[in-house]
Amino acid sequence: MEQVQALVVGAGPAGLMAAEMLADAGAQVVVCEGKPSIGRKFLMAGKSGLNLTKSEPPERFLAAYAEAAPHLVPMLAEFGPQDVCAWAAALGQPVFTGSTGRVFPVAMKASPLLRAWVRRLTGKGVEVRTRWRWRGWRDDAALFETADGERALAARVTVLTLGGASWARLGSDGAWAPVLASAGIELSPFAPANAGLEVAWSAPMARHFGAPLKGIALSAGGLHTRGECVISARGLEGGGIYSVCRGVREGAPLWLDLLPDWSAEKVAAELARPRGRQSLSNHLRKVLRLDPVRMALLMEFGRPLPGEATALAALVKALPIRHAGLRPLDEAISTAGGVRWEAVGAGLALKARPDVHVAGEMLDWEAPTGGYLLTACLATGRWAGKAAAVGL
């Protein structure tokens, strides 16, 4: 049986941050990753522009974490949005802030940042082993399935950063949950977060597949957002939907405001204009200046369209979206559920196994995309790594 000082299981952002904190404390650190390469979900997130964090007032930033915010407050206070920016810059990746407050590396990619980070970690003596899949414990040793068969590592401290239960092909499959549950650790069931919406479109909508849906607002169960979506063959995808998917998941109806900058009274006044011989649809296009995609949605979900201006205005301002729920768990960007906060102590150590800390999406929290996910993964990984180092 191999002996190591500090073991980190999972080589995503939370795991690498924990490893760096342990190395900075002088520990011999081994990082084990089940996949052939590290940071797969991180790299996938960077394909459309790596959204590192969000620049906004602290109270608004914390509100994105809902009921998990009180637990995350101390971690985000130590490593919040400004610290994320400084961290990226120190790795040679300066950042910029977009018009919506989202922060991106100038390179707009994850790979340069990850390569620089790995070089720094290697320079600090961190060893990374890939294709080492964690299977649980035997007595005090962590068991791994490797290309050379079963291997056991006995560590003085361990940090688990195994992700949630989405995107199994990238390494987050939730297979760790039964192992922890069998050890008496309290878990909340997994549920999709930041997931697309499944919609059975009528045939005329096919011409709009792939089209962006802009200039809208969405609401579900008390959640409201201004954002964009994309109409796909399977439904609606994108940040706008992701921001309200918790409300949808919990059974609240989904409403779309096609003209969020107009009051219902203004919409009604425009609709009340004489239309002459124009069809109702042409009248709508002319007076409301709806683009073809928003017009198509109004026809898809609003029929039969009411003829009275006030009733039609109400529909434009609150269009009910008929859907079949969220896309499956494995297609979600992230998941709700995981290790309950009651199961960990102040340093994110498992109360049932004080030598084992957990971080990242393994913990029971969720947040919308827009930089919140990655910031909390980095912050919790840092917090767990520092706390684990105290136990050495």
Which of 260, 289, 320 is the last residue in one of the domains? 320
So what's the pLDDT on residue 315? 96
Predicted pLDDT of residue 304: 87
Confirm if 79 and 379 have CB atoms less than 8 A apart: yes
Q: Which residues contact 67 (CB under 8 A, 6 or more apart)?
A: none
Structure confidence by residue, pLDDT tens digits, 82-109: 999 999 999 999 999 998 899 999 999 9
Residue 100 and residue 187 in one domain? yes
Does 340 share its domain with 229?
A: no
Last residue of a domain, one of 277, 294, 320: 320
Based on the domain organization, do 148 and 203 belong to the same domain?
no
pLDDT tens for 331-359 read 999 999 999 999 999 999 999 999 999 99
Helix residue spans in 219-363 (DSSP H): 239-249, 264-271, 280-288, 292-302, 309-317
Q: What is the pLDDT along the chain (392 residues), one digit of tens a residue?
A: 899 999 999 999 999 999 999 999 999 999 999 999 999 999 988 777 899 999 999 999 999 999 999 999 999 999 999 999 999 999 999 999 998 899 999 999 999 999 999 999 999 999 999 999 999 999 889 999 999 999 999 999 999 999 999 888 888 999 999 999 999 999 999 999 999 999 999 999 999 999 999 999 999 999 999 989 999 999 999 989 999 999 999 999 999 999 999 999 999 999 999 888 888 888 888 899 999 999 999 999 998 888 889 999 999 999 999 999 999 999 999 999 999 999 999 999 999 999 999 999 999 999 988 899 999 999 999 999 999 999 88
Q: What is the pLDDT of residue 101?
A: 93
- Provide the domain count of the chain: 2
Residue 326 within any structural domain of the chain: no
Q: What is the reported pLDDT for 16? A: 98
Q: Which amino acid is at 111?
A: S
Q: What is the pLDDT of residue 30?
A: 98
Residue 349 lies in a domain: yes
In a domain, residue 371? The reply is yes
Is 104 within a domain?
Answer: yes
Bridge-based pairing of strands 2-9 and 29-33 is parallel
Note whether residue 56 is domain-resident.
yes
Residue 114 shares a structural domain with residue 22: yes
Question: Is the domain of 178 the same as that of 201?
Answer: no
**Which residue in the block uniquely carries the two structure tokens 């649980």?**
136
Angle, nearest 10°, between helix axes 372-390 and 13-24?
30
DSSP letters, 5-17, are EEEEE--SHHHHH
CATH code for position 77 = 3.50.50.60
Q: Does some domain include residue 44?
A: yes
Q: Are residues 55 and 175 in the same domain?
A: yes
Give the sign of the dihedral formed by CA 251, CA 253, CA 258, CA 259. Answer: negative
Q: Are residues 248 and 173 in the same domain?
A: no
345 and 375 in one domain?
yes
Let me know if residue 252 belongs to a domain: yes
- Give the burial class of 347: count Cβ atoms within 10 A of its Cβ; 0-12 exposed, 13-18 middle, 19 or more buried: middle
Last residue of a domain, one of 320, 352, 382: 320
Q: Answer yes or no: do 366 and 269 share one domain.
A: no
- One domain, residues 245 and 338: no
Whether 75 and 118 map to the same domain: the answer is: yes
Q: What is the pTM of this model?
A: 0.93
pLDDT of residue 278: 84
Residue 327 is assigned to a structural domain of this protein: no
pLDDT digits 0-9 by tens, 239-263: 899 999 999 999 999 999 999 999 9
Predicted local confidence at residue 145, as pLDDT: 97
Structural domain containing residue 291? 197-320
Does 235 lie in the same domain as 129? no
